[in-house]
Amino acid sequence: MRPEILLQALVNGILMGGVYSLVSIGLTLIFGVVRIVNFAHGEFLMVGMYITYWLWALTRMDPIVTALVSMPILAVMGYFFYRALVRRVLGAPDLSQIFLTVGVSLVLQNFALLIFTANYRSVTVAYATQAFRVGPVSFSVARLIAFAVAVFLSLLVGLFLGRTDIGRAMRAVAQDRDAAMLLGIDPHRVYALAVALGAALAGAGGSVIMPYFYVFPTVGASFVLIAFVVVIMGGLGNVTGAFLGGIIMGIAESLGILFVGADAGVIVAFIILILVLVLRPQGLLAVRRG
């Protein structure tokens, strides 16, 4: 195999991995703070994709710009998702929490199927098919823009968690809820904001991939599978690990497609998941605590 083909596959994997990182950071943030596994996270991305599609179809708004609309809508959706549903099962057994989020996932999927039908929909923008070359490597403009937005938002999340009072409150609640309460932090307010932020990131991910992807009611299922693999790989609740894990997942998927075939993405995801669970269940990038 020629080196330029392998290099092209690596570049494609890194660009797609940035979007995986963005979606996975929202998922790991919700788990790290609220301690609940959100199986409806993929449907938040699906809603963001539909918002992007209809804004483009009705107003011809650029899909990247629609992230400014989808993010606040998904944030409000995530906030009420926590207040109305998640809050009621925080002290319940894990099985009840799983049933709740899986149930919400099925409701959103079937609601989208009822309203939008099962048709595949996509947007058409001028830069969707544009690319430029750097030496032997071709860079898709749409994928490069999506990667840049994903990296930018991921950095903002890191700064938010490390430099703002609300971000520090989230980290405090994630580390020790009782100690945080003694310091006057309302955990339920923090939980609601964490779910809202996680949903907003999923909505942004849905917007930035629309120039080169398509939306249908069950599209979230494939993305949430990859997101779970990324989160487990990076370490549950580890935001930095989720970002790096997304890049690794994108590269692994791209190489799998190159060496195995077009349907190898899900196969690679499951193989990585099994290997991580067997060899390092705490996550490849998790820090051991003595």
pLDDT tens string 208-231: 999 999 999 999 988 888 888 888
Sign of the torsion angle spanned by Cα atoms 18, 23, 28, 29: positive
Please tell me whether residue 178 adopts helix, strand or coil conformation.
Answer: helix
Model confidence, pTM: 0.91
290: in domain: no
**Tokens linked to 200:** 């907003």
248: in domain: yes
Lowest pLDDT segment from 126-130, 145-149, 269-273: 269-273
Identify each DSSP E strand in the chain by its residue range: 131-134, 137-140
Q: Is the pLDDT of residue 154 over 60?
A: yes
Alpha carbon distance 121, 72 (integer Å): 23
Beta strand pairing call for 137-140 and 131-134: antiparallel
Identify each DSSP E strand in 2-53 by its residue range: none
**Facing residues of 139 across strands?**
132
131: in domain: no
User: Tell me, what amino acid is at 25?
Assistant: I
Please tell me whether residue 133 adopts helix, strand or coil conformation.
Answer: strand
100: in domain: yes
Over the stretch 76-133, which tens digit does the pLDDT of each residue have? 999 999 999 999 998 888 899 999 999 999 999 999 999 999 999 999 998 888 888 8
Q: Is the pLDDT of residue 263 over 80?
A: no
CB 206 within 8 A of CB 86: no
285: in domain: no
Residues 6+ apart with CB under 8 A from 135: none
Tell me the residue range of the domain where 158 lies: 3-123+136-279
Give the chain's mean pLDDT.
89
User: Which CATH number is 199's domain given?
Assistant: 1.10.3470
How many domains does the chain fold into?
1
88: in domain: yes
130: in domain: no
286: in domain: no
